[in-house]
Structure 1
Amino acid sequence: MARVGIDAGGTLIKVVYEEKGYLHYKYYPISKEKELLQWLQIFHSPAQFILTGGRAEALKQKMAEAKIVDEFSVICAGANYLLKEEGKQRSEYLLMNVGTGTSFFIHKNGKSERVLGTGLGGGTFIGLGKLLTGKSTFAQLADLAGDGSKEEIDVLVKDIYESSSSPIDGNLTASNFGKAIFVQGGASDKAAALTNMIAENLMLLAMLLIEKHSLSTIVFSGSGVSRHDYFQTRLAEFSNMFGYEAIFLERGKYSGAVGALLSANR
């Protein structure tokens, strides 16, 4: 019987299915749930459906035969699988999974554990982004951020010290959105500053965990990372600044769905 892993998140439903020994990947926005169910009925019936994610219970009401598995355990299993598939396997690392919010996991000694979570994530980017720019989709906001300049909105350390020497890197942020007191700023600059604020604060949490657990590698996954080039750039720059290895999974948004599918083997 065919196996289908489904990660029903806050904004996207990610689907991974096995066919002729290979995994195939597909996703639908929440608004297209009916189309997903029709597609599953046509192409994957009968099948073993394994659900995970925050909306798994709601989806199961329309898929009575489906099984639900714990989201946090399968995200790590999926990330490990993808690391191996993409030739990036590491024995120990910090996993930062950015979805609607963000969860942090430690993978060490062959075991994975969720150690921290925050409400900062893709939902923050869309919600605050809409308030700041009027744009309401992730793709629109990510494109805006890529065209903007955070320096137009953020106060940098070098802005404060001006001609005098700075005790730390002058390009670091002294105050997120600090210049908005004096300037209006364009939509793209606001989106860039918002992206930077989220990236900086997530990396501060990551740094605390990396130092506490004596790690040197951060693996990034989740739909909030995979669809936002400028966000990846900022995360990579912060990682390099502090000497950490940054690994971005190419199919990172499917970590939960892959892990759900793999759980059928256990």
Structure 2
Amino acid sequence: MDLRHNEIEGNSEPTQSLGQTSHLALDIGGSLIKVVYFSISRDNCIDREQESSANDTLGFSNGNCKHPILQGRLHFAKFETSKINDCLEFISSKKLHLGGFQHHENPGKNKNFIKATGGGAYKFTELFKENLGIDLDKEDEMDCLVAGANFLLKAVHHEAYTYIDGQKEFVQIDQNDLYPYLLVNIGSGVSMIKVDGDGKFERVSGTNVGGGTFWGLGRLLTKCKSFDELLELSHQGNNRVIDMLVGDIYGGMDYSKIGLLSTTIASSFGKAVSDNKELEDYKPEDVARSLLRMISNNIGQISYLNALRFGLKRIFFGGFFIRGQPYTMDTISVAVHFWSKGEAKAMFLQHEGFLGALGAYVSYAKHSIDDLVCNQSMQLPVSASYTADPNYNPLNGDFNDNESIQCSVYAA
């Protein structure tokens, strides 16, 4: 896959400008279903044997490869797992499942399959077979998370960034100095994976306090009906109404001897112990804010402690819990910076929620990740592209067919 001239466009609609769809992959998690699919541009297939100049234009990685190059776009979409029928309808309406893919390992196997990962790839196997007439060709979840992260960090120049003091700064990734790193994937739960290379990784830790915790507790405490509604509500709140701060204990003073500012949270939800109030006496937005702060802080701290175990300075955070939200990223960044005394940095990914789905997608390829074209001169015009759709706010992280990456892939 060549992303040299990639770009992200808002409100991309493949049925208007693109032709046939080739390859679809799913990551069916406990809370969300992530979808990645490639649509081929009409009349834009280049045969490498006929076009020798294509090597300069598309940046082929292997001059001996005889596969044609397909120009098109990678599209991203997500659905709540509890509303899986919406996902099935989306796939059916766009005919994404009709590509007729052939197994390389077993040519005699049923052509009607799509790559899938996550627990739902097992749980909903029969549902996809009954509704769409396709098999789910299952890929290991951890394999896909790592493959998706490695692919993005190698193939997309402006993929990783830091978020400090409200400023987003993209990070130049040296492919020769990528490993090792810690990948923290925040889904319903949290997995922390030490990545040493392509296909070389170890899940070193995790926590059951993750996105599912935020959503579940938030729904019970605020009556919000969706993750996005809860996240939006948290932005309107003030966690200091509920959280007990160091200053609350020390009469507004810092605890300078051990380096704690008066604004440091001493106990999440701590004021609820002594306020003599009922749940309905607190504003839902304050509860949501405190909950988001508590979980983000916890994840940031545990992540750094695991990075410390292995001497890792680079920590990448992925998963749909983050959603590009400034408050979440700021809290995680501050936690990593505080506990590492500034020696480690939290880094985030543009396509944070689609690591597993992308990993499942690249598993279609005959070649390995090393054969994917990764050119460090690529530019990703984020600001211009995101503003193309006035209804799309990148900080909300809503990728429901609002984002696509222009790219080229080898036809299998």
Once structures 1 and 2 are overlaid, which stretch shifts more, 40-49 or 51-60? Answer: 40-49
Deviation of 1:72 (Å) = 1.0
Distance 1:145 1:3, change over 3 A: same
Contact 1:226 1:250 in 2 (8 A): no
Once structures 1 and 2 are overlaid, which stretch shifts more, 68-77 or 242-251? Answer: 242-251
Letter in 2 for 1:66: L
Deviation of 1:66 (Å) = 2.3
Structure showing the higher helix proportion among its residues: 1
Distance 1:80 1:264 in 2: 16
Deviation of 1:34 (Å) = 2.5
Once structures 1 and 2 are overlaid, which stretch shifts more, 31-40 or 75-84? Answer: 31-40
Distance 1:223 1:150, change over 3 A: same
Distance 1:59 1:113, change over 3 A: same
* 1:127-179 superposed Cα distances (whole Å, 9 cap, x missing partner): 11122212131111111111111111111112212255513222222111010
1:4 equivalent in structure 2:
24
Letter in 2 for 1:92: P
Deviation of 1:102 (Å) = 0.8
| Percent identical residues | 34
> Aligned to 1:44, which of 83, 97, 111?
97
1:146 equivalent in structure 2:
235
Matched, 1:124 2:213: yes
Distance 1:228 1:46 in 2: 35
> What pairs with 1:102-251 in structure 2 (closer than 5 Å)?
102-108=190-196, 111-162=200-251, 164-166=253-255, 167=257, 168-170=259-261, 171-181=263-273, 182=275, 184-226=281-323, 228-241=325-338, 242=340, 243=342, 244-251=344-351
TM-score, normalised to structure 2, is 0.60
Letter in 2 for 1:98: I
Distance 2:240 2:357 in 1: 38
Deviation of 1:31 (Å) = 4.1
1:76 equivalent in structure 2:
146
2:361 equivalent in structure 1:
261
Distance 2:311 2:146 in 1: 19
Letter in 1 for 2:271: K
Distance 1:60 1:2 in 2: 21
Contact 1:82 1:252 in 2 (8 A): no
SS at structure 2 position matched to 1:225? coil
Once structures 1 and 2 are overlaid, which stretch shifts more, 190-199 or 101-110? Answer: 101-110
Distance 1:109 1:54, change over 3 A: closer
Letter in 1 for 2:362: L
Unaligned runs of 5+ in 1: none
Unaligned runs of 5+ in 2: 1-20, 41-70, 102-113, 161-172, 367-412
Distance 2:229 2:149 in 1: 27
Distance 2:140 2:361 in 1: 12
Structure 1's consecutive aligned runs of 4 or more residues displaced over 4 angstroms after TM superposition are none
> What pairs with 1:88-99 in structure 2 (closer than 5 Å)?
88=160, 89=173, 90-99=178-187
Which of structures 1 and 2 has the bigger CA Rg? 2
SS at structure 2 position matched to 1:226? coil
Contact 1:126 1:136 in 2 (8 A): no
SS at structure 2 position matched to 1:66? strand
Distance 2:90 2:253 in 1: 63
* 1:17-61 superposed Cα distances (whole Å, 9 cap, x missing partner): 123343221122224423432443423303441010121112321
SS at structure 2 position matched to 1:74? helix
Contact 2:194 2:201 in 1 (8 A): yes
Distance 1:194 1:163 in 2: 23
* 1:201-257 superposed Cα distances (whole Å, 9 cap, x missing partner): 112211211111111121111111126442222112223333222221111101000
Letter in 2 for 1:146: H
Distance 1:2 1:92 in 2: 33
> Aligned to 1:14, which of 34, 38, 56?
34
Contact 1:94 1:106 in 2 (8 A): yes
Superposition RMSD on alpha carbons, in Å? 2.1
